[in-house]
Chain A
Amino acid sequence: MFWQRRNDADFSDEVNAHLELEADRLVQEEGLAREEALYAAHRAFGNVVNHQERFYRSVRWMWLDHLIRDVRYAFRSLRRDFGLVVFATLIVGLGIGATVTVFSVTNALLLRPLPFDEPERLVLISNGDWGRGQELSSVTVQVNQLIELRNESRTFTDVGGYHQFDRVGDHTLMGSGTPERINRLRVTPNFFQVLGVEPAIGRLFSIEESHYGGPPAVLLTHGMWIRHFAADSAIVGNAITIDQAPASVIGVLPASFDFASTLQPGRRIDYVAPFPLSPETNQNGNTLSLIGRLAPGATIEAAEAESAILAARVKPDTRNEFTPRLRPLHDHVSGRFRPVMFVLTGAVGLVMLIVCVNLSNLLLVRSATREKEIAVRAALGATRWRLVRQMLTESVVLTSAGTVLGWVLAIVGTRALVELGAGIPLLNTVRVDGTALGFTVAIAGTTGLVLGMLPALRLSALAFHETLKEGSRSASAGKRHRSIRGALVVSEVALACVLLAGAGLLLRSFAKLADVELGFQPEHAVTVRIDPTVRFEPRELGVAYYDEALRQLRAAPGLTSVGLTDVLPTAFNRRWCLRDVGDTYCEVAPFVRVVSDGYLEAMGLTLIRGRDFDTRDQRSATMRTIINEAVADAVWPGESPLGRTVLISGTEWEVIGVVKAMRHLSPDQAPGPEVFFSMRQTRDFRAVHLIARGEGSVELITSSIRSTLAAFDPNLPVTDFRVVQDLIDASVSPRRFLMLLLSGFAVFALVLASLGIYGVISYSVSQRKQEIGIRIALGARASALQRSVLGETLRLAAFGTAIGLVTAFALARLMESLLFGVTASDFTTFAAVPVLLLAATLLAGFVPARRASQVNPTEALNPE
């Protein structure tokens, strides 16, 4: 053993030497015979064995010695029970894998601070409450308001902002070959200072570059730098061509600054440009989202109050209202995922509990076969604590292989999650790291100890009874054993019931969601972006361009209807103020969409009144708009809005049609108010997406579009076709993911609970072989025996189901925010779960029941 200065052999030698010397002396001085002298020397020495043991103990850490012995013993003992080891490894692996994955995600989303300087002092300042609809026009702030806050506030050390309305692919980068669509983010000149982000290479924006009309300068994001510029640091200081104009690259942002992942998940930012705070930019209205850094000692409440005062001060100069609402930045980024993570953590906890209970049950059975061994050890002097420690070591060793498997599964799981997760912030920071490792070890250790507790305690108690007698079976201990195992199985069933109920509610929600009336037809519709990278000068050319494109597409084979729009479903959108003529307040703030003729048909929208846009709606004619039901009902309830005039964003529009409302943002959000403008009449749009509907397959539609557009304009970069249905599916993918995950857990739990019941009933049947044999010999019928066994099974299952249902009912309320279309006390779910459980348990009891009826009486009654 390490860490001793002398080994046992050395001490042994010394003792022997002593005895020899003493014997010599006695022979010499007292004339004893050699043998006698040795005996005398021994007697004078005292208990040699005792002293050797004492020495042994003194030079070691005895606890470590015991531990190593226990571990070796555990290995030997488990090797005999290989099936148990495999089973335990599997279920512990799955349980721990799920637990660590959920932990890593929780850590990344909710626990770990944001990758900024002193992130707890950063707050998001929005205009009004940031509701679920993410209506950006109403939560953003005007430039003047930012300036006021920045200059006058004493609760903020600095306030910066970013522009909310840069959309995907709006800008182009000239490289070699075809221009590439890239994404821009515009920030106020002090934005990075507020966050505390330093560039990895180069510098931040200078004062000149931050002025309106100043020299164009850009910062590249880390991803863009690696992807497009091959991580070449020479690009800093050079110019690149963006939107056909040169812009100087002044620096590269660090990899830790993943703005998109934090604040606009699912998007990718390629470069950052300064957004000057000037009277010119102030004209654009509400454009900025603000992030402020609280001064030391300032509280959010104080800051909010001060911001309200400052907002009121600047009100006469601004077009729009500003009601400051402050929220810690971290809250804003991932706060809405708290319910999901809460549910997942709870679910995973239940899964681990079931794994523990199941294994504990198995170990209890195993302990029954080791009674004699333990009794012998107790008789030889092992203390109760020593025995318990040995059993606990064994159960920890048993879980260790499962832990390793779980760790591997967690790594795989988190990687898979990062692939899947669109729209979930910070997902690329999910990793299995040191913290996760510590957590894993803690969970594994706790698991091992918990599941070893019961068998250990039971065995050590038994050891001090008379179990060495042949064939003896302490009746009371046996019965208690059975009731403990029964209780364990009941709890397993209850846990499985809770998980099944949760999964059931989510499944029903998802089914309801699939049935929901979207208001448009996403199937068989393909979309692709077709605004060319070159701007149209003058804009009228654009109208002609798109008109011709549509004409050619309409003639193309396989396409039944085509249309254009500037915003796709599930994409964020702007909202403008709509007022009735003569009013001074906004009646409603509808989403704005600029479309071509034929869009309504291409999208499958239903026109209830009036007409679609057509060639009559030119720039020279009256400005016309099509509104949806929600607007019509809000402004002119009960009347026809056709022919009425409204004021939208300062211009008068005549209503020429009403469409049925559509769920534009995502299927689980109610439809909002919308207005449509014709592309001929307004120029206020940037992107142009083609929507094409056809009868054939997606490939046919796509190839038809591609060939037509190639003939029409060979320079048009036509890539990135998407099926509209996929957009819709992607918007519910987090929901689907949660549902699948929870269903997986529920199935796992059900399987374990069934196995648990199977085990208990099997064991009970095998224990009662004699009794069954007698009953058969006395004429009992097979069916009666089966019924009795199944009855026992059902009793256990029913008990567990009852407890589980009550618990599930109480807990379901916590899930309410995640449900759609069903309440937390949904009858169908709570009715289906017990049926499923009872069916599964009956199945589990079936085999033992048959075995009971097939017992051979003569065999059973033979004395062992």
Chain B
Amino acid sequence: MSTQANDRIALLQGTLDVLILRTLLFGKQHGQGIARAIGQSSDDVLLVDHGSLYPALQRLESKKWISAAWGVSENNRRARYYTLTKVGRKQLAKETHEWQRLVEAMSRVLGLEGGGV
């Protein structure tokens, strides 16, 4: 695979994780629902292959930041629902904080908020 694709994946891993955790903050959700929620809440800026969500979901599940169980959706379809665990909640708080710092630092450097050339 090309390095561009590799970078894309690396970036995606970090951001996807926090996006998934954030989405689940609002309650349990299945894979398709998570994909939709991410697209919606970012005004379709962040778009990802729905399938690519699943490696991230498996990783998060193995780290015990989310837990999963089969359930029934609104239109009576079987779906696997993911829930944020306590540890996952802590992780979300931590990563959100990291993102905050990153964004502030980048803004300062790039002069995005008032002042600077």
Tell me the bound Cα distance from A50 to B31 in angstroms: 17
**Do B80 and A51 touch (CB < 8 A)?**
no
Looking at B17-25, B44-52, B106-114, the stretch in contact with chain A turns out to be: B44-52
A469 at the interface (CB under 8 A from B): no
A24 at the interface (CB under 8 A from B): yes
Q: Find residues 74-111 in chain B having any chain A CB closer than 8 Å to their own CB.
A: 75, 77-80
- Which residues of B lie under 8 Å from residue A58 when comparing CB positions? 55, 58
Given the interface contacts A25-B36, A44-B49, A46-B49, does A17 sit within 8 Å of B54 by beta carbon?
no
Given the interface contacts A18-B50, A46-B52, A51-B54, does A24 sit within 8 Å of B78 by beta carbon?
no
Tell me the bound Cα distance from A50 to B80 in angstroms: 20
**Do A45 and B75 touch (CB < 8 A)?**
no
Given the interface contacts A18-B31, A25-B36, does A48 sit within 8 Å of B51 by beta carbon?
yes
- Which residues of B lie under 8 Å from residue A47 when comparing CB positions? 51
Q: Find residues 27-60 in chain B having any chain A CB closer than 8 Å to their own CB.
A: 30-33, 35-36, 49-52, 54-55, 58
Given the interface contacts A18-B31, A21-B73, A45-B49, does A55 sit within 8 Å of B78 by beta carbon?
no
- Which residues of A lie under 8 Å from residue B50 when comparing CB positions? 18, 22, 41, 44-46
Tell me the bound Cα distance from A41 to B35 in angstroms: 12
- Which residues of B lie under 8 Å from residue A24 when comparing CB positions? 75, 77
- Which residues of A lie under 8 Å from residue B80 when comparing CB positions? 13-14, 17
Q: Count chain A CB atoms within 10 A of each CB in B31, B54, B73 and give the residue with the most.
A: B54
Which chain A residue lies CB-closest to B53? A18
A228 at the interface (CB under 8 A from B): no
Binary interface encoding of chain A residues 39-64 relative to chain B, with 1 for a CB under 8 A from any of its CBs, else 0: 00100111110110011001000000
Which chain B residue lies CB-closest to A17? B79
Q: Count chain A CB atoms within 10 A of each CB in B30, B50, B52, B55 and give the residue with the most.
A: B50
Tell me the bound Cα distance from A46 to B5 in angstroms: 15
Which chain A residue lies CB-closest to B54? A51
**Do A21 and B51 touch (CB < 8 A)?**
no
- Which residues of A lie under 8 Å from residue B31 when comparing CB positions? 14, 17-18
Which chain B residue lies CB-closest to A29? B36
Secondary structure at chain A's binding surface: helix, strand, loop or mixed? Answer: helix
- Which residues of B lie under 8 Å from residue A54 when comparing CB positions? 55
Give the Cβ gap from A108 to chain B, nearest Cβ, in Å. 51
Give the Cβ gap from B78 to chain A, nearest Cβ, in Å. 5
- Which residues of B lie under 8 Å from residue A135 when comparing CB positions? none
**Do B49 and A21 touch (CB < 8 A)?**
no
- Which residues of A lie under 8 Å from residue B75 when comparing CB positions? 24
Given the interface contacts A22-B32, A25-B36, A55-B58, does A17 sit within 8 Å of B78 by beta carbon?
yes
A20 at the interface (CB under 8 A from B): yes
Give the Cβ gap from A674 to chain B, nearest Cβ, in Å. 87
- Which residues of A lie under 8 Å from residue B78 when comparing CB positions? 13, 17
Tell me the bound Cα distance from A25 to B77 in angstroms: 12
Tell me the bound Cα distance from A54 to B49 in angstroms: 15
Give the Cβ gap from B107 to chain A, nearest Cβ, in Å. 33
- Which residues of A lie under 8 Å from residue B55 when comparing CB positions? 51, 54-55, 58
Tell me the bound Cα distance from A207 to B55 in angstroms: 81
**Do B49 and A20 touch (CB < 8 A)?**
no
**Do A45 and B51 touch (CB < 8 A)?**
yes
Q: Find residues 53-90 in chain A having any chain B CB closer than 8 Å to their own CB.
A: 54-55, 58
Tell me the bound Cα distance from A13 to B77 in angstroms: 11
Which chain B residue lies CB-closest to A11? B54
Tell me the bound Cα distance from A48 to B31 in angstroms: 14
Give the Cβ gap from A566 to chain B, nearest Cβ, in Å. 85
Tell me the bound Cα distance from A574 to B54 in angstroms: 90
Give the Cβ gap from B83 to chain A, nearest Cβ, in Å. 15
Q: Count chain A CB atoms within 10 A of each CB in B30, B49, B51, B77 and give the residue with the most.
A: B51
Which chain B residue lies CB-closest to A58? B58
**Do A21 and B77 touch (CB < 8 A)?**
yes
Give the Cβ gap from A380 to chain B, nearest Cβ, in Å. 21
**Do A18 and B49 touch (CB < 8 A)?**
no
Give the Cβ gap from A527 to chain B, nearest Cβ, in Å. 82
Give the Cβ gap from B60 to chain A, nearest Cβ, in Å. 13
Q: Find residues 759-788 in chain A having any chain B CB closer than 8 Å to their own CB.
A: none
Tell me the bound Cα distance from A585 to B46 in angstroms: 110
Binary interface encoding of chain A residues 244-264 relative to chain B, with 1 for a CB under 8 A from any of its CBs, else 0: 000000000000000000000
Which chain A residue lies CB-closest to B57? A14
**Do A20 and B77 touch (CB < 8 A)?**
yes
**Do B52 and A21 touch (CB < 8 A)?**
no
Q: Find residues 88-128 in chain A having any chain B CB closer than 8 Å to their own CB.
A: none
Which chain A residue lies CB-closest to B55? A54
Which chain B residue lies CB-closest to A51? B51
Tell me the bound Cα distance from A251 to B79 in angstroms: 79
Other-chain contact of B77, A17, A45, A51, A55 (Cβ < 8 Å): A17
**Do B58 and A18 touch (CB < 8 A)?**
no
Given the interface contacts A13-B78, A14-B80, does A21 sit within 8 Å of B32 by beta carbon?
yes
- Which residues of A lie under 8 Å from residue B77 when comparing CB positions? 17, 20-21, 24
Give the Cβ gap from A768 to chain B, nearest Cβ, in Å. 50
Tell me the bound Cα distance from A18 to B53 in angstroms: 11
Other-chain contact of B79, A21, A46, A50 (Cβ < 8 Å): A21
- Which residues of A lie under 8 Å from residue B49 when comparing CB positions? 44-46
Binary interface encoding of chain B residues 58-77 relative to chain A, with 1 for a CB under 8 A from any of its CBs, else 0: 10000000000000010101
Tell me the bound Cα distance from A24 to B77 in angstroms: 10
Tell me the bound Cα distance from A9 to B50 in angstroms: 19
Give the Cβ gap from A160 to chain B, nearest Cβ, in Å. 66
Give the Cβ gap from A27 to chain B, nearest Cβ, in Å. 10
Tell me the bound Cα distance from A24 to B58 in angstroms: 24
Give the Cβ gap from A3 to chain B, nearest Cβ, in Å. 13
Tell me the bound Cα distance from A18 to B36 in angstroms: 11
Tell me the bound Cα distance from A15 to B50 in angstroms: 10
**Do B54 and A21 touch (CB < 8 A)?**
no
Give the Cβ gap from B94 to chain A, nearest Cβ, in Å. 25
**Do A21 and B58 touch (CB < 8 A)?**
no
- Which residues of A lie under 8 Å from residue B79 when comparing CB positions? 14, 17-18, 21
Tell me the bound Cα distance from A17 to B80 in angstroms: 8
- Which residues of A lie under 8 Å from residue B58 when comparing CB positions? 55, 58
Which chain A residue lies CB-closest to B36? A25
Tell me the bound Cα distance from A46 to B36 in angstroms: 15
Q: Count chain B CB atoms within 10 A of each CB in A18, A20, A47 and give the residue with the most.
A: A18
Give the Cβ gap from B40 to chain A, nearest Cβ, in Å. 11
**Do A25 and B32 touch (CB < 8 A)?**
yes
Which chain A residue lies CB-closest to B31? A18
Tell me the bound Cα distance from A14 to B75 in angstroms: 16
Tell me the bound Cα distance from A540 to B109 in angstroms: 124
- Which residues of B lie under 8 Å from residue A18 when comparing CB positions? 30-32, 50, 79
Which chain A residue lies CB-closest to B61? A5
**Do A55 and B54 touch (CB < 8 A)?**
yes
- Which residues of B lie under 8 Å from residue A21 when comparing CB positions? 30, 32-33, 73, 77, 79
- Which residues of B lie under 8 Å from residue A44 when comparing CB positions? 49-50
Give the Cβ gap from A59 to chain B, nearest Cβ, in Å. 8
- Which residues of A lie under 8 Å from residue B73 when comparing CB positions? 21
Tell me the bound Cα distance from A50 to B55 in angstroms: 11
Binary interface encoding of chain A residues 17-37 relative to chain B, with 1 for a CB under 8 A from any of its CBs, else 0: 110111011000000000000
Q: Count chain B CB atoms within 10 A of each CB in A13, A15, A21, A44 and give the residue with the most.
A: A21
Tell me the bound Cα distance from A47 to B51 in angstroms: 7
Given the interface contacts A24-B75, A58-B58, does A17 sit within 8 Å of B52 by beta carbon?
no
- Which residues of B lie under 8 Å from residue A13 when comparing CB positions? 78, 80
Q: Besides A25-B32, A46-B51, A58-B58, 4 other CB < 8 A contacts?
A: A21-B79, A46-B52, A55-B55, A58-B55
A-B contact pairs, 24 of them (CB 8 A): A11-B54, A13-B78, A14-B31, A14-B79, A15-B54, A17-B30, A17-B31, A17-B79, A18-B31, A18-B79, A20-B77, A21-B32, A21-B33, A21-B79, A22-B50, A24-B75, A24-B77, A41-B50, A45-B49, A45-B51, A46-B52, A51-B51, A51-B52, A55-B54
| Chain B residues near A (Cβ < 8 Å) | 30-33, 35-36, 49-52, 54-55, 58, 73, 75, 77-80
What 6 A-B pairs come out closest when comparing CB atoms? A46-B51, A46-B49, A21-B32, A45-B51, A18-B32, A45-B50
